[in-house]
Amino acid sequence: MTEDARWLSGLEEQARARLAAPVFEYVAQGARDGQTASRAVDTWAAVEFHPHVLRDVTDVGLETELLGSPVGVPWGVAPSTLQRAIHPDGELAMARATAQAGGVMVVSSNAGTPFSLIGETGVRWWLQAYLPADRTLAVPMLDRAVAAGASAVVLTVDTPVVGTKYPVGRVVWDVVDPALLRVNFDKGTDERPGADKALDLGPHDVDWLAEHTGLPVVVKGVLRPDDAVRCVQAGARAVWVSNHGGRQLDRAVSTAAVLREVIAAVGEQAQVYVDGGVRSGLDVVAALSLGADAVFLGRLPLYALTDGEPGVARMHREVGAQVVETMRLSGCRTLADVAALHAPSAPNHP
């Protein structure tokens, strides 16, 4: 049983009340008119289940395997910067709580905490990377991540430029110390020629990242089946269906709407992950029922981070409690059972 069945749904308002207005706006807002961001939550709520009955649900298992390694739960934390603007412990609080929950944490390349300290928490973590026009400028950052124990690289491909936002009043950069981000880059990197985000990303970058780091590469920001196939052909071990939380291209399609198409396109060749508007354990089950191998939470853990490590730990517990309850009510003992919830099985005639 959860401690408070509505606690998760109240996290956004808790964050709004506690954070400086520009910081909250940075976390919550979408690009331009915010259409993609505002639609995301409702698209998961529209996913309906076809529950089984007369199933033994005494023991429910949440364990799964991502990129060939076992993990305790099928959800993780998506990458985000400025976590130390939300709470002084920032990425360290997020990492410790996520390690305790048995999940994967994806760390932004723009993080405000040294990778070495994140690695020392014992969390299983992947590096999120943007590539600059001059790829060599990313090499020191990539090497630091590998040395600190990153076990995968997540290449974000939907951000050749930063999507336009319409701020109200002061922006986050007016109130946040620049020392709270990009601490894993060499000093002066941002002033060097070629430091802008790459406008020429291509399949070759997937191969280059894999070869340089020796790690599996996940491609994040895919919304089309044909692009998913190109990613897999380029060597991606997983494809991450994401519209960047509605923060890049406004009017982009919701991730829930295209998830099954992407999964069908890549088949058994690669895993498929998803994010975007996931706010509860029921949303996690909805994504898993559509076939996702894992679900990543973006804004929800940031809102929980206003309470530091205890807040993020409670968020994981509450999500877990909702997932387990939903699985039991649906007659599911394993995550494989959940994958069959979205559509009824064909009749089993004698």
- Please state the residue numbers annotated as binding site: 26, 108, 128, 130, 156, 220, 242, 244, 247, 275-279, 298-299
33-71: b or e for each residue (b if 16 or more CB lie within 10 Å)? ebebbebbbebbeebebeebeeeeeeebebebebbeeeb
Q: What is the CA radius of gyration of the chain?
A: 20
Candidates 244, 316, 342, 349; catalytic one: 244
How many CB atoms are closer than 10 A to CB 204? 12
244 is catalytic: yes
Q: What span, in angstroms and rounded, lies between the C-alpha atoms of 292 and 228?
A: 14
Evaluate the CA torsion angle 330, 331, 336, 339 in order and state its sign.
negative
Look at residues 291, 299, 295 and name the one whose alpha carbon lies nearest to residue 342.
Answer: 291
Give the span between the Cα atoms of 73 and 161, in whole angstroms: 33
Q: Which residue has the tokens 């429910």?
A: 60
Angle, to 10 degrees, between the axis of helix 139-147 and the axis of helix 203-213? 50
Q: Binding site for FMN, residues?
A: 108, 128, 130, 156, 220, 242, 275-279, 298-299
Place of tokens 């630091």: 144
Residue 23 exposure: Cα atoms within 13 Å on the Cβ side: 22
> How far is Cα 334 from Cα 47, in angstroms, rounded to an integer?
19
Looking at the annotation, which residues are catalytic? Answer: 244
